[in-house]
Copies of this chain bind each other. A is one copy, B any other.
Amino acid sequence: MGEQVPSPVQVRLDELHARVQLNCEGEVATYIPALGKADPALFGLALATHDGHVYESGDTGVGFTIQSVSKPFVYALALYDRGLNGVLERVGVEPTGEGFDALRLEPETGRPLNPMVNAGAIVTASLVNGDDWGQRFQRILDGLSAFAGRELRVDHEVLASEERTGDHNRALGYLLRNAGVLEGDVDKALAVYFRQCSVVVTARDLAVMGATLAGGGVNPVTGQRVVGADTTEHVLAVMATCGTYDFAGEWLLRAGLPAKSGVAGGLVAVLPSQLGIGVFSPPLDRRGTSVRAIAACQELSARFGLHLMRPVNRTAPVLHRFLRGDSLSSQRSRRHAEREILQANSGQIAICELQGDLGFAAADVAVRAIADGLDGVRWLVLDLHRVGRAEPVAVDLLDTLVGELRERGVGTAVAAEDGESPVIAEASFRSLDEALEWCEDALIAQECPPSERAGLDPAAHVPLGEQDLLRDLPAEMIDVLTPLVVERRLAPGEPLFEPGDRPDETLYFVVSGGLIAQQVSGDEVIRMASMGPGTTVTRLTLVDDRNPYRIVAEEPTVLQVLSQTVQKRLEDEHPQVVEALHWAMARGLAARLRQADAQNHALLGSAVPVER
């Protein structure tokens, strides 16, 4: 398929926009005269996702003054600059049950009840960093711009209109200074507030600003951190309880989205962690909220399932896979005796791959499942490669679990990005395969009878006659073969076989040391498998145009090599030896294939049952 597929979300957003456009109720605000000129047909609807994708429908590029929608963002800046308690001293966080222009101040402290009513917003604007009012406004303008991800400006016509008609707000200013919560020149404080309200934004801007609150303060489009995650938690909580004044309760009940509206017809709504919605449509209801914004958000919430209190993600699987050693083994070529030990004791190794973000609930499910699933286990591989973010509580719970396991004789190997485990464990590795190999080595060392220990030692020297591939061949065949193989020595790092090579040799017996197989693609080298003394590398499994393997010595390594020329001679002189070799190779390959197929099946089918 070459052609671009239209986005299903865009399709639905456009349909919804067309429906809501038909709603012509409400009146354009006139109490600031410059706003009265707005076209009541304008309607922009934008949705910005946590990963910075922005869907837009209608007039999402039309500028309008932000008005009260600025309040939560300036509150965020003040919280970020002053800290929660520094702001709470001057502005409360309780809903008023009254309108945006509520005069009521808290009797004991003189604080305005919350930062979403004008009185609270005027004090909040005075609390952002800045040595003077000019610097404070610049901080506000820069902050709003960072939330939006573009440079915003002030509409001076609306500003002049606001200033001419701002006497109620001036009265609030003097009441606030009288109560001791606003300091300095009231006119200058009001000038900052009026300019803040006159900043021009679009519905798209509001969506991105909302998504920045949703994402813990990082603008998902620009990647810039604007405020901290604690700050956005607090701002969203206040938007939830106070964002739409005396309509806050019913708004949260119906739309289920913390939100803030403005008198120019703008509205921002936020689903924490997920998305921001920006709406612009000038006609307002009697409480001063855009009629189409209310309709669009409630319908979006219902159709897209966005209610904050909705039960969702209960089944998001935190266990990607939870397997035992019988369904997954490392890519180390094992000797027959080692394979037998691993098979007989496969239940002693457990492999647990976690995934997703680990917050409390996910970590709780994970530690419970692990603790309940370790019957008979002595070694645990904990693979964290698929974990996005592990919150402190998750690291703490995993640390505690690993510590408890250690006391019970269970060793844990962690596989994590760059081998850097956030959890304290016995060992940590870059890959699941290496972690699993470590567990297998430990298991073999523990279970191996003393008599065989020497032969399974990775430092062992395994002469031709004791090689695994030849173990069923009669002694006279070994005697035929012995003078025909050639010794070859490799230094650490020396390649035996480069991608694309088609060498003359057909069989390599590892006598001592060890080889690793690497897959090379561009600069990337991936460790695919490893082979120790007593195992065999055959050209048969390596030569493939699609698999550019490199075989390289991991340490000083001695091989016995059978060349194709010698094999040809053998075919004429001792066909039964070649026949026996091929049969042994086929048998070995079949065994490995069975294991690989079983592993494939385990990997494909090992979905952890979804909780219902």
In the complex, what residue of chain B is closest to A9 when comparing beta carbons? Answer: B364
Cβ of A160 under 8 Å from chain B = no
Are B252 and A385 in contact, CB atoms less than 8 angstroms apart?
Answer: no
Query: How many monomers of this protein are in the complex?
Result: 2
Cβ of A568 under 8 Å from chain B = no
Cβ of A457 under 8 Å from chain B = no
Are A600 and B603 in contact, CB atoms less than 8 angstroms apart?
Answer: yes
Which residues of the other chain, B, contact A377 by a CB distance below 8 angstroms? 1
Distance between A289 CB and nearest chain B CB, rounded to angstroms = 14
Are B253 and A237 in contact, CB atoms less than 8 angstroms apart?
Answer: yes
Cβ of A439 under 8 Å from chain B = no
Which residues of the other chain, B, contact A271 by a CB distance below 8 angstroms? 361
Distance between A522 CB and nearest chain B CB, rounded to angstroms = 16
Determine the distance from Cα of A274 to Cα of B3 in the docked complex, in whole angstroms: 42
Cβ of A563 under 8 Å from chain B = no
Distance between A299 CB and nearest chain B CB, rounded to angstroms = 12
Determine the distance from Cα of A554 to Cα of B378 in the docked complex, in whole angstroms: 44
Determine the distance from Cα of A612 to Cα of B357 in the docked complex, in whole angstroms: 11
Are B305 and A5 in contact, CB atoms less than 8 angstroms apart?
Answer: no
Distance between A467 CB and nearest chain B CB, rounded to angstroms = 17
Which residues of the other chain, B, contact A238 by a CB distance below 8 angstroms? 249, 253
In the complex, what residue of chain B is closest to A610 when comparing beta carbons? Answer: B388
Distance between A73 CB and nearest chain B CB, rounded to angstroms = 15
Interface string of A533-560 (1 = CB under 8 A from B): 0000010110010110000000000000
Contacting residue for A233 out of B229, B256, B397, B590, CB 8 A? B256
Distance between A393 CB and nearest chain B CB, rounded to angstroms = 5
Which residues of the other chain, B, contact A397 by a CB distance below 8 angstroms? 8-9, 12
Which residues of the other chain, B, contact A51 by a CB distance below 8 angstroms? 314, 365, 611
Interface size on A, residues (CB 8 A): 141
Determine the distance from Cα of A510 to Cα of B590 in the docked complex, in whole angstroms: 19
Cβ of A273 under 8 Å from chain B = yes
Given the known interface contacts A528-B601, A579-B575, A589-B586, the answer about A312 and B273 at a Cβ–Cβ threshold of 8 Å is yes
Cβ of A20 under 8 Å from chain B = no
Cβ of A60 under 8 Å from chain B = no
Cβ of A167 under 8 Å from chain B = no
Determine the distance from Cα of A585 to Cα of B586 in the docked complex, in whole angstroms: 7
Distance between A552 CB and nearest chain B CB, rounded to angstroms = 18
Cβ of A593 under 8 Å from chain B = yes
Which residues of the other chain, B, contact A603 by a CB distance below 8 angstroms? 600, 603-604
In the complex, what residue of chain B is closest to A318 when comparing beta carbons? Answer: B316
Determine the distance from Cα of A565 to Cα of B79 in the docked complex, in whole angstroms: 87
Which residues of the other chain, B, contact A233 by a CB distance below 8 angstroms? 253, 256, 307, 309-310
Which residues 296-349 in A have Cβ within 8 Å of B in the complex?
303-317, 343
Interface residues of A (CB under 8 A from B): 1-9, 11-12, 49-51, 53, 88, 92-97, 113-114, 214-216, 229, 232-234, 236-238, 240-242, 246-250, 252-253, 256, 258, 271-275, 303-317, 343, 355-357, 359-361, 364-365, 367-368, 371, 374-378, 385-389, 391-393, 396-398, 400-401, 404-405, 408-410, 432-433, 519, 526, 528, 538, 540-541, 544, 546-547, 571, 575-576, 578-579, 582-583, 585-587, 589-594, 596-601, 603-605, 607, 610-612
Query: What are the 8 tightest A-B residue pairs by CB atom distance, in nearest-first order?
Result: A315-B388, A216-B311, A8-B400, A596-B596, A236-B309, A95-B95, A93-B249, A589-B589
In the assembled complex, 27 residue pairs joining A and B whose CB atoms fall closer than 8 Å, in A order, are A1-B374, A1-B405, A2-B375, A5-B401, A5-B405, A5-B408, A9-B364, A12-B396, A12-B400, A93-B249, A233-B309, A237-B253, A238-B253, A258-B309, A303-B393, A305-B360, A305-B391, A317-B388, A343-B546, A388-B612, A432-B604, A526-B605, A528-B597, A544-B591, A547-B598, A582-B583, A589-B589
